Structure 1
Amino acid sequence: MPLSVLSLMLVVFSFTTGEFVIAGILPEVAADLSVSISEAGLLVTAYAMGMIVGGPVVTALTARFARKPLLLGLIVVSVAGNLGSFVAPSYALLLASRFLAGLVVATFFAAAITTVVGMATAGREASMVAKLTLGMNLGMILGTPIGTFIGQHFDWRATFLAIALSSAAALLLVWRALPARSAQPPTGTTATASVFGELRVFARRDVQLAIALTVLGNVGVVTVFTFIAPLLTEVSGFAGEAVPVLLLVYGVGAVAGNFLGGWLSDRAQMPSLAGMLAALAGSLTLFWLIGHIGSVAAVLTFLVGALAFAIIPGMQTRVLATATSAPTLAIAVNASAFQVAAAFASWLGGRVINTAPGGLHTLPLVGALLTLTGLAVALHSLRRDRRRELLPA
C-alpha cells in the first residue's frame, strides 16, 4: 500500500472509530453527565446528522478547493470536534462537538476516494478504494473495542482524546506523504463553472441509479447488523459472552470481502455487484431459514460480513464513473444517503421486531427482501450499460 494511501486510510480508521465507539461507552457518558441512556443515544444521532448535513453542504462549499489543503483542513475540524468532546462540560456541548466531528466525514471520504482513484492505474480503481475502506473495517473491529476499553477502564473522555490524537498523527502523515499533484480530481473528470453546475450532475439517470444502488443495496444488511447481538443470542442460541467473538468473525469477513469486492469490481463492475447482492440476499435468507443452528449462524455471520463489505468498493467507483463532472460531490451525497438509509434501517428493524409475525426471527428475511431491491437496481443499471454498448459509435 503506498504511504499516501496508508495515511488516508488511517484517517478513515480514526473517523470510523469515532463514529461507532460511542455505543460502547454510552453508560459511562450517561452516568457522568446525569442523562438517561436514551438521551446519551442521541450522541449517535448528532454524529450521523453531521454527516448527513455536511455531505452535500460542506462538499459544495469547498468544491473549488485544492484537494490536499482541503483534506488537511477537514482533519483539523475533526480533531477539534473530538477535542471538544474530550473537554465538553455539559451534554449540550458534547452534542455540538459530536455534530462538528461528523460534519466533515462525508466530504473527507469523498475527497479521499477521488484522490486515491486518481492515483490508481487503469482498471485498478476499485482495488484502490478497497485499500482506503480497509480503514472502515479496522475502525470497527479494532478501533471501536480499543476505544471502548479506554472509556470503560480510564474515562470516557479519554476515548475522545485518543481519537483526536490518532487523527492528529494521521494528519501529519497525510501532510508529509500525500503529494499535492496526486490530490486532484481523477483523470477524466471535468471542472464545472459553479456549485449549481455541479448540482446538475444529480439530474443524470445513471447517477441517480448509482446512489439508489448504494442505499437499497445496503439497507437490508444494515437492518440486520443493527440487531445482530440479539439475533445471535435469542435466535441462534449463543451466550452473551460469545457475541464479541462473533462480531470479530463478522469483522474478519468484512476485511476479506472488502479486498475481494475491489478485485471483482475491477474486472466486471456491474456483473460482480449484481452477483454479490444476490449472494447477500441468499445468505440473509439462509439466516432466516436455518440461523437457529449455532454452527450455521457462525458461518453465515462471516459470510454476511464478507458480502456486506464486498459491495462497497464497486458501489463507490460506480458513483465516480457516472458522475464525472462532479465526482467528489456525488460521493459525498452518496455517503449522506447511506446515513439516511442506516437511520431508516434502525427504525425499520425495531418495527419488524415489535410488530411482524416471528418478530426478531423475521428480521433476516426482511433484510433479504430489501437487498433484492438493490439487486433489481443493479440489474437495471447493467441492462442500461449493455444497451449503450450495442449502440453504434
Structure 2
Amino acid sequence: MPFAIHLLGLAVFAQGTSEFMLSGLVSGIAGDLGVSIPAAGHLTSAFAVGMVVGAPLMAILSRRFSRRGALLAFLVTFLAVHVAGALTTSFAVLLATRVVGALANAGFLAVALITAADLAGPHAKGRATSALLGGVTVACVAGVPAGALLGEVWGWRSAFWAVALLSLPALAAIAWAVPAGPPDTAGPDDARPSVLGELRALRSPRLRLTLLLGALVNGATFCTFTYLEPLVTRVTGLGSGWVPVVLALFGIGSFAGVSLAGRVADVRPLPLLVGGSCALLGGWALFAVTAAHPAATVVLVLVLGALSFGVGATLISQVLYAASEAPTLAGGFATAAFNVGGALGPWCGGLVLSAGLGHRAPVWVSALLVGVALAVGGTALARRRRATAPAPSVPSFRGSGRCGGAPPRP
C-alpha cells in the first residue's frame, strides 16, 4: 500500500476517536450537562446524522478543489469544532458542534476513500479500504479507551482536547504526503463524469442493496457500542475502571477483523459476508443472554468487534466496486449509508432503554438488525440466482405420435 494511505489513516484515527469515544463518556456528559443518558447518547446519533447529510454534499463540494486542499479544509474544521466542544457548558452547543464536526468528518472520509482506492489501483479497493479503516480500529484500541480514561480522571472535556491535539500531526502529514490533485489513474478533470452522470451510476440495484446492508450492519454495531459503558457497569457488574479495558478489547477485535477482511474482500467477498453476518447474528444474541457474566462479556466484545468491522469494511469495499462509474460520489454515499446505521442504531437503543426494557435491550436490537440484513441479502441473492439460472430444456414432441403429440405432416 502507498505510504500516503497510511497517513490518511492517521487522520481517520483522530476522527474515529471522536466518533466512538462518547461510548465511554455518556454518563459523565449526562451528569455534567444535566441531561439523561439516552439524551447524551443522541450525541452519537447527531454525529451520524451529520455524516449522512454531509457525506454526499461534501463529496460534491470537494469536486471544485484539489483532493489535498479538500482534505486539509475538512480536517481544520474538524479540529476547530472540538475546541469549541471542549469549552462549552451548553448541551445544545455541544450537539451543534457534533453535527458540524460530522459534516467535516464526512467530507474528509468521502474524499479519503476515493483517494486511497485510486492510489492502491483498480483491483485492490478492499485492501485500500481496510488500510484506511485501520485508523478507525486503532482508535477503538487506543484512542477510545484513552478517551474513556481521560474522562474518568480529568472529565469528558479532556477527551475533546485530546482529539483536537491528535488532528495537528495529521494536518502536517496530509500536507506533506497526499498528492495535490487526483492521481494519474483517475484521468484529467475534464474526463470525469458530471455530477448527474455519477448520480445516475449510483442507481444500480447491486449498489442500493450493498448500501442498505451496510446501514443495517453498522446500525447493529452502534446500537450496542453506544451503550456499552452502562451495560458493562450495570449488567455485567464490572467497575468503571473496566470500561477502557472492554472498549480496548472491542478495538483489538475490530483491528483484527479489518486486517483479515482486507486479505479476503477483493477475492472472496460473498463467503465472508454471508458467514460473518450469520456469526454476528448468533454473537449478538449470545451476548444479550450472557451479559451478566464478566468472562462471556470480555470474550464476546472481542469477537463481535472483529465480526462487525470485518463485515462492515467488506461492504464498504463492495460499494466502491459497484460504483466504479461514480469516482467522486462513491465514497460519499458509502459514508452516508454506514452512518444511516450509525444514527439508526443509537436511536433504536435509546428507544428501548427509555421504554424501560433494560440495558440488555440494545443488544437484542443489534441481533434484530443483523437478522433483517441477512433476510434482505438472502432474498436478493436467491432472486439473482433464479434470474441467472439457465432455462430448463423443454422436450419437443414434434414429429412423434406419442403422448398425444400430433403426427408429422408429410
Could you tell me the TM-score, scaled by structure 2's length? Answer: 0.80
> Structure 1 CA distance, aligned partners of 2:91 and 2:230?
29
In structure 2, do the counterparts of structure 1 residues 280 and 47 end up closer, same or farther at CA, with 3 Å as the change threshold? closer
- After superposition, what is the alpha-carbon deviation per residue over 1:86-119, rounded to whole angstroms, capped at 9, x for unaligned? 5558665544433322212122112111111112
Q: Which residue of 1 aligns with 2:65?
A: 65
> Structure 1 CA distance, aligned partners of 2:358 and 2:153?
36
Aligned AA for 1:220? A
Larger-gyration structure (1/2) = 2
* Cα drift, residue 315 of structure 1: 0.8
> Structure 2 CA distance, aligned partners of 1:385 and 1:209?
12
Give secondary structure in 2 for the equivalent of 1:76: helix
CA contact (8 A) 1:115 1:184 kept: no
Q: Which residue of 2 aligns with 1:216?
A: 216
Matches within 5 A, 1:190-269: 191-193=192-194, 195-269=195-269
Q: Which residue of 1 aligns with 2:10?
A: 10
In structure 2, do the counterparts of structure 1 residues 7 and 355 end up closer, same or farther at CA, with 3 Å as the change threshold? same
Q: How many residues align?
A: 387
Larger deviation: 291-300 or 213-222?
291-300
Identical pairs, percent: 34
In structure 2, do the counterparts of structure 1 residues 252 and 114 end up closer, same or farther at CA, with 3 Å as the change threshold? same
Q: Which residue of 2 aligns with 1:369?
A: 368
CA contact (8 A) 1:52 1:340 kept: yes
Larger deviation: 7-16 or 158-167?
158-167
CA contact (8 A) 2:24 2:244 kept: no
Aligned AA for 2:84? G
> Structure 1 CA distance, aligned partners of 2:135 and 2:46?
22
> Structure 2 CA distance, aligned partners of 1:157 and 1:105?
20
In structure 2, do the counterparts of structure 1 residues 282 and 107 end up closer, same or farther at CA, with 3 Å as the change threshold? same
Q: Of 32, 36, 40, which aligns to 2:34?
A: 36
Matches within 5 A, 1:137-176: 137-150=137-150, 153=153, 158-176=158-176
CA contact (8 A) 2:66 2:181 kept: no
Q: Which residue of 1 aligns with 2:272?
A: 272
Aligned AA for 1:37? V
> Structure 1 CA distance, aligned partners of 2:286 and 2:359?
15
> Structure 2 CA distance, aligned partners of 1:256 and 1:305?
9
> Structure 1 CA distance, aligned partners of 2:203 and 2:30?
44
Larger deviation: 272-281 or 244-253?
244-253
> Structure 1 CA distance, aligned partners of 2:74 and 2:376?
33
CA contact (8 A) 1:287 1:300 kept: yes
In structure 2, do the counterparts of structure 1 residues 268 and 247 end up closer, same or farther at CA, with 3 Å as the change threshold? same
Give secondary structure in 1 for the equivalent of 2:266: helix
Aligned AA for 1:221? T
Q: Which residue of 2 aligns with 1:286?
A: 286
> Structure 1 CA distance, aligned partners of 2:156 and 2:94?
12
Is there any run of 5+ residues in structure 1 with no aligned partner, and where?
A: none
Aligned AA for 2:257? G
- After superposition, what is the alpha-carbon deviation per residue over 1:33-71, rounded to whole angstroms, capped at 9, x for unaligned? xx4234766654543333232112222232343322221
- After superposition, what is the alpha-carbon deviation per residue over 1:174-213, rounded to whole angstroms, capped at 9, x for unaligned? 11112346657768x97222x3333223422122111101
> Structure 2 CA distance, aligned partners of 1:78 and 1:247?
23
Could you tell me the TM-score, scaled by structure 1's length? Answer: 0.84
In structure 2, do the counterparts of structure 1 residues 310 and 4 end up closer, same or farther at CA, with 3 Å as the change threshold? same
